[in-house]
Amino acid sequence: MFTGIVEEIGTILVANTGLERDNTLRIGCKLATSDAQLGDSIAVNGVCLTVTAFETDWFEVGLAPETLRRTNLGELKVGSSVNLERALAAGRRMGGHYVQGHVDGTGEIIAIEPDGESKAITIRVASALMRYIVEKGFIAVDGTSLTITRTTDDSFGLAIIAHTQAWAIIGQQQIGDTVNIEVDILAKYVENIVRFDRKLLAE
């Protein structure tokens, strides 16, 4: 479980992807390995991954084919920046929102406009995801917990404050970039409950 509060920006040191097996990433970091153990979970661009090897300033993770199909991790290259967050520790304050690290799909940045010190960013996603996205609701974009400012039939808007621009990779991203999207799990639970209620009423 994560909160969507990015702890640091890491750097891809080795990217072995697009292989039939043994797809891996090695990620340079300062904080993420400070208390790491083999088997720990770290969110990389919002994707919950398992630490398979580490030293003081890097860690490695394996990537399943499903992960490469559903996320933007297969597009990463040596030197790419990634958001990193360690799993939530018991007793810590819960900032952001409940983020599982289970990416639902990807979106494309289609507009970036200045808004004072903030940036207004628009992201286009598949219609299958838009049903879970509501104005003023939560969403995780590359693992960053953000509030939705507006919606259309196929896109949503975000207001990215100066702090978030400096602390997460969304401040570096450009129009056309692919981002990982995890919708609010509560929306999916509600949909499932309603579906089963309708099924019971129909029987």
- The answer to pTM > 0.75 is yes
Q: Is 178 a catalytic residue?
A: no
Q: Is 97 a catalytic residue?
A: no
Q: Is 64 a catalytic residue?
A: yes
Q: Is 41 a catalytic residue?
A: yes
- Tens of pLDDT along the chain (203 residues)? 899 999 999 999 999 987 777 899 999 999 999 999 999 999 999 999 999 999 999 999 999 999 999 999 999 999 999 999 999 887 777 778 889 999 999 999 999 999 999 999 999 999 999 999 999 999 999 999 999 999 999 999 999 999 999 999 999 999 999 999 999 988 889 889 998 878 777 77
Q: Are 139 and 128 in contact (CB under 8 A)?
A: no
Domains belonging to the chain, first-starting first, are 8-86 (2.40.30.20), 105-190 (2.40.30.20)
Of the residues 15, 29, 43, 48, only one is catalytic, namely 48
Of the residues 34, 102, 152, 162, only one is catalytic, namely 102
Q: Are 19 and 40 in contact (CB under 8 A)?
A: no
Q: Which residues contact 186 (CB under 8 A, 6 or more apart)?
A: 98
Of the residues 11, 24, 41, 178, only one is catalytic, namely 41
User: Cα–Cα distances in Å, from 84 out to 59, 118, 153?
Assistant: 11, 22, 31
